[in-house]
Amino acid sequence: MRTYVALSVAATMLVGLGATASATTADTASASASASASASASASASTVSRPLAGMRILISNDDSMQAAKASNSDGLGLYELRRAMCAAGADVVVMAPWQVQSGKGTAVTNGGVVTAQRRTVLPAGYENDCAGAPARGAVYGVCLSDGPCTKDSASATPADTVKLALRGGLRAKAGWTGAPDLVLTGINSGPNISASVNDSGTVGAAVAAIDQDVPALAFSSSGDATNTSFPRVNYRAHAEFGARLVAGLKQRALLTSKFALKVDYPDVSTGVPAKAPVWTRVGDGAVVYHAFEQRGGGDSFDIALGLCPVDGSGEGECAEGRKDADSTWLLAEGHVTIAPITWDRTYGTPVDARRELNRIERFVEHEAPRP
């Protein structure tokens, strides 16, 4: 059966130390040791509360940086991700498409001029999220224009924005020398699972990062039951989980550019919490696919999205043959799903990062944070 839809902690440390002018040497030594221990404890608490301190993170997406639609489908997830990473101590810069670029995959623009224009008025509630960070969470929209971006400017693709950032944009706009420590893409409006992964601009932007030897994670969140609206609560839960996930990977030296991690989050807007993360493969069936309906026997075709049933009853291209498919664990079981994604399209290529792959799989299954 198929249906169609139109495209559209840390605790605060309070330590009082006192000594008189007549303190003995032993007293002084004791006070010094106590002060040292206190400083160490304070540093430890700071590490817990700001586990990403010292990290420089680039964020992009394929939904744009507009965040203006009532459906929350045009970039609101990006601001939730920015908020969570800055709260965890990271220095964040955003370079994202000027317009929605969903479904662009790894597409790039081969000529012309791009403009990275800083957004000066951020969406309400997100203005001061990164105020204490060196780059202050600067947000840039990237358009295809020789001059200022306007409301109707054509947009750079997701891969364009990451390539621009890593090949001079961050140096010019943020003063960052060298590559960022990490690239995060998303949070996408809707999951990127099964066959749709190949079309995903969110995943494509992450692939552009690892292609430049920078570790990357791609985040995508489910919508509500209609999958036409994307509640803020889903983005926020995913972003806060994502910050803890990145911290865990960082602490274990598991951030690698050998492959990207695709992280999909279930719908929690009904009050049912997400279940523990599961290590998955990309499904070999389809959940959403492109459908083409001919107009009156002529040369024109309407483009629509075909929707497969999520209960596993699909046939043909809707049939799912993998027990560890991301779609099954996400949609049917309600788990956070994590899958490794690589840029290498050569069939049968041996995995050249087997140790990292095995360690990350163990981390996801046994040590990763729970939603």
- Residue 265, CA distances (Å) to 119, 219, 319 in order: 28, 8, 22
| Residue 257: Cβ within 10 Å count | 19
pLDDT at 47: 60
pLDDT at 312: 62
CB 106 within 8 A of CB 204: yes
pLDDT of 237 strictly over 60: yes
CB neighbour list of residue 37: distance below 8 Å, 6 or more residues apart:
none
Least confident of 45-54, 157-166, 196-205: 45-54
pLDDT of 36 strictly over 90: no
pLDDT of 25 strictly over 60: no
How far is it, in rounded angstroms, from Cα 146 to Cα 114?
7
Q: What is the mean pLDDT of residues 129-154?
A: 97
Closest CA to 215 of 46, 48, 52, 97: 52
pLDDT at 314: 77
The string of pLDDT tens digits covering residues 283-329 is 999 998 889 999 998 999 999 988 888 766 778 889 999 999 999 99
Q: Is 121 helix (H, G, I), strand (E, B) or coil?
A: coil
Least confident of 14-18, 255-259, 315-319: 14-18
In angstroms, the first-to-last Cα distance of the chain is: 33
Take residue 182 and report the two structure tokens written for it.
């990490």
pLDDT at 18: 31
Residue 312 or 115, more confident = 115
pLDDT of 43 strictly over 80: no
CB neighbour list of residue 314: distance below 8 Å, 6 or more residues apart:
1, 2, 285, 286, 308, 320
pLDDT of 111 strictly over 60: yes
Whole-prediction pTM = 0.87
pLDDT at 219: 98
The fraction of the chain above a pLDDT of 70, given in percent, is: 87
How far is it, in rounded angstroms, from Cα 371 to Cα 368?
10
The string of pLDDT tens digits covering residues 63-99 is 999 999 999 999 999 999 999 999 999 999 999 999 9
Cβ contacts of 315-321, under 8 Å, gap ≥ 24: 317/195, 317/285, 317/286, 317/289, 318/2, 318/285, 318/286, 318/287, 319/285, 320/194, 320/283, 320/284, 320/285, 321/284, 321/285
- Across 3-17, 31-45, 186-200, the highest mean pLDDT is recorded for 186-200
The string of pLDDT tens digits covering residues 336-370 is 999 999 999 899 988 889 999 999 999 999 999 99
The string of pLDDT tens digits covering residues 156-188 is 999 999 999 999 999 999 999 999 999 999 999
Q: What is the mean pLDDT of residues 143-159?
A: 97
Position 282 confidence tier, pLDDT thresholds 50, 70, 90 = very high
Cis peptide before 187 (omega within 30 of 0): yes
pLDDT at 12: 27
Take residue 13 and report the two structure tokens written for it.
């440390």
- Residue 275, CA distances (Å) to 72, 89, 125, 129, 271 in order: 24, 26, 28, 28, 12
Q: What is the mean pLDDT of residues 100-112?
A: 96
